[in-house]
Amino acid sequence: MYNYAVISILWGRFVVAKIPAHIFREYDIRGLAEEELTSENVELIALAYGTWLVRSGVTKAALGGDVRLSTSRIKAALAKGLLAAGVDVVDLGVTSTPTFYWSFFRCDADGGIQVTGSHNPKEFNGLKVAFKKATLWGDAIQNIYRMIEADDFAVAKIPGKFSSLDITDEYINMLASKVQLGNRKLKIVCDYGNGAGGCYGPKLFRKLGCEVVDLFAEPDGNFPNHHPDPTKRGNLLSLMEAVTREGADAGFGYDGDADRLGVVDDKGNMLVGDRLMALYWREILAKNPGAVAICEVKSSMALPEDVEKHGGKPLWWCAGHSLIKAKMAEQNALFSGEVSGHLFFADEYFGYDDAFYAAERLCRILSNSDRKLSDIMEEIPQYPATAETRYDCPDDKKRGVVDKFKEQALAENLNVITVDGARIIYKNGWGLVRISNTQPVLVARCEGRTKEALADICADMKRRLLNAGSPAFEWEF
């Protein structure tokens, strides 16, 4: 579906915009940079968002962006649209997404847009849209599109004012002030993947007193060494090799906008986000016994088991960083995260996902222990599991498949967690299916206490999915 809108812009020309509806996603606005996030489309998005801000009583917005080749152009188009709506724009320059989040506190801005393609291929880019220290999601994102459809804009008689502010050093100093390391001096390796993280990490970890080996720290939107997605093992091979070669205590990998963290232990093993969360929860629960631990529905059963073992109260919740942050606010939760490496600390931090802060917290745990990270992680089980298997299923069909799957499981009186799709609890493991909020795919995953249990669960889950009308698929491992 496309909307064709013709609007009169303050600077005296007409813009004909052709905006695809599908770029307005559940958590952000995202698409092909040169085909879908054209300057005309982006100006129109900014004008609609700026109009909404002004009507909401907000007249100041921060504007940041990662190092992708299209980011500067998109930022310039956003500034035009926001200024035309009467919104003052504070340009933060090149920023990580966490730095952009911190600007809400530093710049006293109740609106803002971060231009970032995050972990997606380099031909993509996106807009993370904010309001009052939180990012918009769901219907709030769709409302911007509805305003464009309805030509519901307000061009201000007096345009907003433009200013620039570099808060990079202030942000690094703020991070360094949040964590004090113990007596054990650490050696770490950091792989920035040529993303925005290279603007921060080299200074930060040396300021903390670590011995640091930096990989691919020079920002480069071509990402010449590997794609900046630390959730994929193939993107961590250089980090794994460097950690073992250097005899480092840990390795940290960052995505393009430094809000996701990947971790490698001292033996070069990749640590997945749910097992990492169990480790963080041990430190938090020691100070906050009985705390509610929000667990993403895709997480290993090792996470709630370890949380309960250390006195916490697991609470299953939906996947998606905006949904988890909203639930954290509702529950006054101290910490949560996603398998994908988004980690939200609200016990001693601001509650948003910041890969550098998460890395600092792990450094603090290690610097106060005489044990190696690999030894500590041996206490947290790593059960046999599939990968997060994503396979094609049309948007007009995927919800029906999951609903039928869920109905059949409940009709059999099975133990099913239904907060996000359906997670069947088996005697020796679990199986999950849920719809993707961002793509025409189904997402499935299984875990068993043994390889034999996993095989049985995979077979039963696949049978149930096919009976519910799912397209054929194969499990990924």
- The distance in angstroms from the start CA to the end CA of the chain is 36
CB 46 within 8 A of CB 15: no
**Closest by Cα among 187, 188, 273, 265 to 229:** 273
| Cα–Cα distance measured from residue 233 to residue 251, given in angstroms and rounded to the nearest whole number | 13
Our measurement of the distance from residue 268's CA atom to the centroid of its chain's CA atoms, rounded to an integer in Å, reads: 24
User: DSSP secondary-structure letter at 311?
Assistant: T
Element (H, E) at 29: strand 29-32
Distances (CA, A) of 414 to 317, 405, 427: 19, 12, 11
CB 293 within 8 A of CB 310: no
Q: Indicate which residues carry an active-site annotation.
A: 118
The two tokens of residue 225 are: 């060494």
| Cα–Cα distance measured from residue 353 to residue 321, given in angstroms and rounded to the nearest whole number | 8
Residue 203: φ, ψ to 5°: -80, -45
Q: Which residues contact 267 (CB under 8 A, 6 or more apart)?
A: 244, 374
DSSP secondary structure string, 314-364? EEEE-SSHHHHHHHHHHHT-SEEE-TTS-EEE-SSS-SSB-HHHHHHHHHH
Q: Which residues contact 327 (CB under 8 A, 6 or more apart)?
A: 294, 317, 318, 333, 336
| Cα–Cα distance measured from residue 257 to residue 101, given in angstroms and rounded to the nearest whole number | 12
| Cα–Cα distance measured from residue 23 to residue 229, given in angstroms and rounded to the nearest whole number | 21
CB 373 within 8 A of CB 249: yes
The length of the chain is 477
